[in-house]
Amino acid sequence: MDRRDSIKSIMLGSIGLGVLLEGCVSGVGSEEVKKAISKFKYGRTKIEIEYDNRLFSRKCFSDNEMKTIKEVCNLILPPNEFGSIEEAEVPELIEFMAKDIPSYETPIKKGLLNLDQISKSMYQKSFVECDKNQQKIFLDDMAYPDLELSNSDQKDEVQWFSLMRNLTMTGYYTSRVGIEELGYKGNTPNIWDGVPQDVLDQYGLSYDKNWLDKCVDQSKRNEIAKWDEKGNLIS
């Protein structure tokens, strides 16, 4: 099982669905952002709209920081036939989350700065300028927490990578492409023909034909049931 399959298994076991909104990123104007989020017609109050506007009008990360975030996310979840973190707009989600939850912003920025400092000390170039193998060496040192320590007692870089990994997974696997990769169908209507006959036979049970015709008639599955005044099913 490769890294991606392992993560898919984790996500299938416990899918934490978050609200996925557009972020304010380099090259995207405020009007474009407002247009993008207008597709979510879920009844925002006046106060919520004002709050959204304040978030989307502010730029959280520099262009270089956004490039670094993109590189890190792609190393955590490389693109495949279903899609990529760019298609899932994961970097945009991370910036939105850093604006929506202020306690995220400083740790993320410090972690990004730390990556550049390490890469420059070792290779005299920034993290995004390093090749993939060099980048993986940096991240592998942060990817494995000490299992004997609580999360708050882990090294700063380990806590940073854990946060980035969680945000990347949440952003990707709650997006259209991520949900398609999981094969998650949600509440999909199906056809129920009643309890299987072999089970009924096993327990010596059977359906009343009149009720069977009323309750398990697939030609009427889209019709609303009707009841008489005494609570008897009519059709």
Beta bridge partners of residue 233, listed in sequence order: 227
pLDDT in tens, the chain (235 residues): 455 555 555 444 444 433 333 333 344 444 544 555 454 556 678 898 888 888 888 889 999 999 999 999 999 999 999 999 999 999 999 999 999 999 999 999 999 999 999 999 999 999 999 999 999 998 998 999 999 999 889 999 999 999 999 999 999 999 999 999 998 888 776 777 778 889 999 999 988 887 777 677 777 777 777 888 887 777 6
The CA distance from 92 to 76, in Å, is 16
DSSP secondary-structure letter at 218?
G
CB 28 within 8 A of CB 34: no
Name the pTM for this structure.
0.65
Dihedral (C-alpha) 172, 173, 174, 178: value to the nearest 10 degrees? 80
CB 9 within 8 A of CB 1: yes
Output the pLDDT for position 218: 72
Output the pLDDT for position 230: 80
- For the chain, the first-to-last Cα distance in angstroms comes to 52
Residue carrying the six token digits 């956004």: 66
Helices (H) and strands (E) in the chain, counts: 11, 0
98 residue type, one letter: A
